[in-house]
């Protein structure tokens, strides 16, 4: 029982901190409406969190693959758009595998032209590209009015229980928190 209570407190504390920082950042997205289409493109982190994401964001459409690098984001989005209208919200959770550059983000933003909200989830991965990837994502939020960030890096720091032994794939509680952070950003 004590573990469950601690888990709930952790999730609530991070959720409150994130919601507060999102409001303070001056982001003024349209309020979330459950009829909006939300599409997520991701890698193994999203694959592992699929059940949690589907539980907290009703109707979310996920395209996640193990080992997917950021350079595959544009083809994944183009595949979706070839048979579907533009989503209202695009969640991009890539960068764990080989990182992401400003140029790759710019290419994705060209493909995502017309999408109201593009939400990037930054990374926590003990690899040389972690800082550069998170910096490129942060810079994108400064350059594009429709870009928002879920700060997984900041929210997951200092808590080894959120990760498996590799230090970057979330544990069950980590996947739950990761999904809740995304849901909070979508619904804020």
Return the active site residues.
Answer: 44, 166, 169
Which residues neighbour 104 within 8 Å (Cβ) at sequence distance 6 or greater?
A: 70, 71, 73, 136
- Residue recorded with tokens 């960030």: 149
CA pair distance 131, 12, nearest whole angstrom: 27
Residues 91, 117 contacting (CB under 8 angstroms): no
Residues 53, 71 contacting (CB under 8 angstroms): no
Which residues neighbour 131 within 8 Å (Cβ) at sequence distance 6 or greater?
A: none
Which residues neighbour 10 within 8 Å (Cβ) at sequence distance 6 or greater?
A: 159, 173, 177
Strand pairing partners for 148?
119
Edge to edge, the sheet with strand 89-93 lists 61-64, 38-42, 89-93, 117-121, 147-150
């Amino acid at each position: 029982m004590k573990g469950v209570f601690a888990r709930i407190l952790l999730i609530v504390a991070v959720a409150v901190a994130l919601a507060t920082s999102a409001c303070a950042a001056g982001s003024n997205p349209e309020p979330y409406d459950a009829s909006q289409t939300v599409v997520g493109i991701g890698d193994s982190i999203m694959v592992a969190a699929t059940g949690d994401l589907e539980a907290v964001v009703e109707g979310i459409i996920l395209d996640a693959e193990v080992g997917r690098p950021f350079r595959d984001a544009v083809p994944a989005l183009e595949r979706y758009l070839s048979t579907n209208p533009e989503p209202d919200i695009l969640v991009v959770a890539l960068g764990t595998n080989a990182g992401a550059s400003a140029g790759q983000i710019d290419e994705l933003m060209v493909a995502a032209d017309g999408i109201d909200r593009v939400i990037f989830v930054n990374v926590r991965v003990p690899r040389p590209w972690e800082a550069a990837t998170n910096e490129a994502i942060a810079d994108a939020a400064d350059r594009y009015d429709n870009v928002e960030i879920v700060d997984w890096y900041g929210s997951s720091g200092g808590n080894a229980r959120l990760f498996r032994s590799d230090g970057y794939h979330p544990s069950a509680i980590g996947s739950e928190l990761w999904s809740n952070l995304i849901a909070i950003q979508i619904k804020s």
